[in-house]
């Protein structure tokens, strides 16, 4: 996270310094993320599944064939400093053959216009990445079915033991997440903090 009044107040310009800002079809480049009850959340989103409850650990846009490389966030309204929690996938402690199984396992991305099969791991232009989102990914075949609980438990262990907590204390804070490496979540939000609002920009066309 870094502070710079000009950049944090213009998150779209800051995102362009990392690559090409991208968005879902019919969505703005700058998304406003606000807590929602599950019955008011947009269909197939984490808000629709979990409402004001704790969000599971995930990467953004895991349902895209190639997820965005970076995610930029800033607080529009701090909302009692409800934090964003980050874990580093590089800290996953797996040896062979477990790591090979994680790479070989096949997942189905559904709840999209064109469902597809994928691995948790992918490569693009010589860079490797990880995708994970229980809202859109489901095990496809016996291998993925065998490791889905282990994966969830491993991510939860990292969240409990090694999470980096980003407290939104100022609207001048700008957070840049490597979405191919870091996973994130947030705690449950009390109704007294539903005014929390974050701006988000996704960056896909990375300038390597």
Q: Which residues contact 178 (CB under 8 A, 6 or more apart)?
A: 69, 70
Average confidence (pLDDT) over 89-104: 81
Average confidence (pLDDT) over 190-207: 85
Give me the pLDDT at residue 53, please: 81
Give me the pLDDT at residue 52, please: 79
How many Å separate Cα 175 from the centre of its chain?
Answer: 13
Give me the pLDDT at residue 26, please: 81
User: Are the C-beta atoms of residues 109 and 139 closer than 8 Å to each other?
Assistant: no
**How many other CB atoms are found less than 10 A from the CB of residue 194?**
16
Give me the pLDDT at residue 159, please: 92
Give me the pLDDT at residue 19, please: 94
pTM: 0.87
Indicate the pLDDT class of residue 208, thresholds 50, 70 and 90.
very low
Indicate the pLDDT class of residue 37, thresholds 50, 70 and 90.
confident
Question: Tokens 């964003």 label which residue?
Answer: 84
All structural domains of the chain? 39-70+77-167+177-191 (3.60.130.10)
pLDDT in tens, 125-166: 889 999 999 989 999 999 999 999 888 888 999 999 999 999
Q: Of the segments 41-50, 79-88, 172-181, 186-195, which one has the largest average pLDDT value? A: 172-181
Average confidence (pLDDT) over 57-70: 95
Between residues 190 and 6, which one has the greater pLDDT? 190
Between residues 78 and 128, which one has the greater pLDDT? 128
Is the pLDDT at 7 greater than 90? The verdict is no
Is the pLDDT at 44 greater than 60? The verdict is no
Indicate the pLDDT class of residue 179, thresholds 50, 70 and 90.
very high
């Amino acid at each position: 996270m870094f502070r710079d009044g000009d950049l944090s107040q213009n998150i779209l310009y800051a995102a362009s310094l990392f690559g090409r800002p991208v968005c879902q079809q019919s969505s703005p480049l700058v998304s406003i993320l606000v807590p929602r009850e599950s019955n008011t959340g947009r269909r197939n989103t984490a808000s629709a599944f979990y409402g004001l409850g704790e969000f599971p650990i995930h990467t953004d846009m895991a349902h895209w064939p190639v997820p965005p490389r970076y995610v930029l966030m800033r607080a529009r309204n701090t909302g009692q400093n409800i934090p964003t929690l980050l874990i580093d996938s590089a800290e996953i402690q797996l040896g062979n053959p477990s790591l090979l199984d994680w790479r070989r396992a096949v997942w189905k991305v559904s709840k999209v216009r064109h469902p597809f099969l994928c691995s948790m791991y992918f490569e693009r232009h010589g860079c490797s990445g990880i995708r994970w989102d229980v809202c859109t990914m489901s095990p496809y075949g016996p291998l993925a079915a065998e490791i889905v609980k282990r994966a969830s438990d491993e991510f939860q262990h990292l969240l409990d033991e090694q999470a980096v907590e980003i407290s939104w204390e100022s609207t001048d804070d700008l957070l840049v997440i490597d979405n191919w490496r870091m996973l994130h979540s947030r705690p449950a939000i009390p109704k007294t903090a539903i005014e929390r609002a974050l701006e988000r920009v996704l960056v896909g066309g990375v300038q390597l």
